[in-house]
Amino acid sequence: MIELLLSRRSTRKFLTRKVEQEKKDKLIEAALLSPTAKNLHSCEFITVENENLIKTLAGSKRHGASFMAEAPMAIVIIGNTDKTDVWVEDAAIAAITVQLEAEGLGLGSCWVQIRNRHYSENKTAGDYVKELLNIPENYEVEAVIAIGYKGTPTKDNLLETLDRSRIHTEKYRS
């Protein structure tokens, strides 16, 4: 696990190479295997490979999404707000699980935050994505994970540079 965590970095440049079906199946299995509060499975996933849809998704907010236009695939992570009040946590866990599985499969990925972000002054990024993908009213969009083969190599994280001052023992220090 530490090896995966060291090598996983956000990938925002992708090759045009398609992700093989076998790998797509694994990504979906990882998403479905991620734990959810009370085992209620509050999150659902929309896989998107259609180029036009991905390009339109990349326009869901002004900053931090445009790179996705060139991604060969994306997984939209949505939460059923009727099922639980902790759908955000469920969806976030699923998102990182998918990202780590992607890394393990030799793919790159990047999280595109949708929840609490805006498409325009009057429209949320979530509503923009919901309209685009026919997502029912009682769901919210957490994030879109852009996935594909890495277009540029990423630098691994280093154990030596971890900020260990963020770790507290027994009590928070004064």
Ligand X SMILES: Cc1cc2nc3c(=O)[nH]c(=O)nc-3n(C[C@H](O)[C@H](O)[C@H](O)COP(=O)(O)O)c2cc1C
Q: Which residues bind ligand X (CB under 6 A)?
A: 9-10, 12, 64, 110-113
The residue among 135 and 145 lying less far from ligand X, judged by its C-beta, is 145
- The residue at minimum Cβ distance from ligand X is 64
Specify the length of the chain in residues: 174
The residue among 53 and 88 lying less far from ligand X, judged by its C-beta, is 88
Report the nearest approach of ligand X to the CB of residue 52 (Å).
21
Report the nearest approach of ligand X to the CB of residue 65 (Å).
6
The residue among 82 and 156 lying less far from ligand X, judged by its C-beta, is 156
Count how many Cα atoms sit within 13 Å of the Cα of residue 169 in the half-sphere of its side chain.
2
Report the nearest approach of ligand X to the CB of residue 8 (Å).
7
The residue among 4 and 82 lying less far from ligand X, judged by its C-beta, is 4
